[in-house]
């Protein structure tokens, strides 16, 4: 029964996206944000470790542009919780911020495909973790600029560069941490005779 339930869950790819983003968001808001808030005096505009960016990148890598739809749904839910507003009270900055985060990874994958650098999964089953990290960095640069513009009302103009760098560092470090965990989990799974 448990295996059948898992099989049904994993066949619904959009549930994986929403569930993993939601779980990482929960860790973000209950562990990482409070720790950062205790050490940073001027509040959190961007995190130094943003784990949900990994779901954006891995989701876009595995499922392509269609990942935008479940990402948009969960990103709106998470953003309403973050800013303590209903979706109907979103400002233009809130909308830009949500959309920027949602489209950054799929847009980067598609742009690389157009440039004849197809980084989507292949049938061989070989995963290039470095390529995934590279795409994550490029999408993070895009996300940094979009979110920097979208959230400009939340910080002083003289802090623009530091805020953009925090978005960039947070996305990249979050992706790196999740990729390292996945690499070790995959190795353990294979060594354990499960795969």
* Per-residue pLDDT tens digits for 112-132: 999 988 788 877 767 778 888
Query: pLDDT at position 179, please?
Result: 92
**pLDDT at residue 3 in the model:** 67
Q: Which of 65-69, 89-93, 151-155 has the highest mean pLDDT?
A: 65-69
d(CA 147, CA 22): 20
Instruction: Output the CA torsion sign for 79, 80, 84, 88.
Output: positive
The region that residue 50 occupies, defined by phi over 0 for left and psi between -120 and 50 for alpha, beta otherwise, is beta
Sign of CA dihedral 37, 42, 44, 50: negative
Domains of the chain: 13-191 (1.10.1760.20)
Q: What is the pLDDT of residues 135-170, one digit of tens each?
A: 999 999 999 989 877 777 677 777 788 888 888 999
């Amino acid at each position: 029964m448990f295996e059948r339930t898992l099989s049904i869950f994993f066949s619904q790819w959009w549930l994986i996206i929403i569930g993993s983003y939601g779980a990482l968001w929960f860790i973000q808001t209950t562990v990482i944000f409070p720790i950062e808030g205790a050490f940073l005096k001027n509040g959190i505009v961007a995190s130094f470790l943003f784990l949900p960016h990994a779901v954006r990148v891995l989701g876009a890598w595995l499922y392509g542009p269609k990942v935008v739809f479940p990402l948009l749904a969960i990103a709106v839910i998470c953003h309403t919780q973050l800013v303590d507003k209903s979706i109907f009270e979103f400002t233009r900055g809130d909308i830009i911020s949500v959309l920027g985060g949602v489209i950054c990874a799929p847009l980067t994958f598609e742009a690389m495909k157009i440039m004849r650098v197809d980084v989507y999964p292949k049938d061989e089953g070989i995963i290039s973790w470095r390529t995934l990290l590279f795409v994550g960095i490029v999408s993070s640069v895009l996300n940094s600029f979009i979110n920097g513009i979208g959230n400009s009302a939340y910080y002083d103009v003289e802090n623009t560069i530091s805020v953009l760098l925090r978005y960039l560092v947070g996305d990249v470090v979050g992706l790196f941490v999740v990729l390292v965990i996945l690499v070790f989990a995959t190795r353990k799974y294979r060594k354990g005779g499960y795969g």
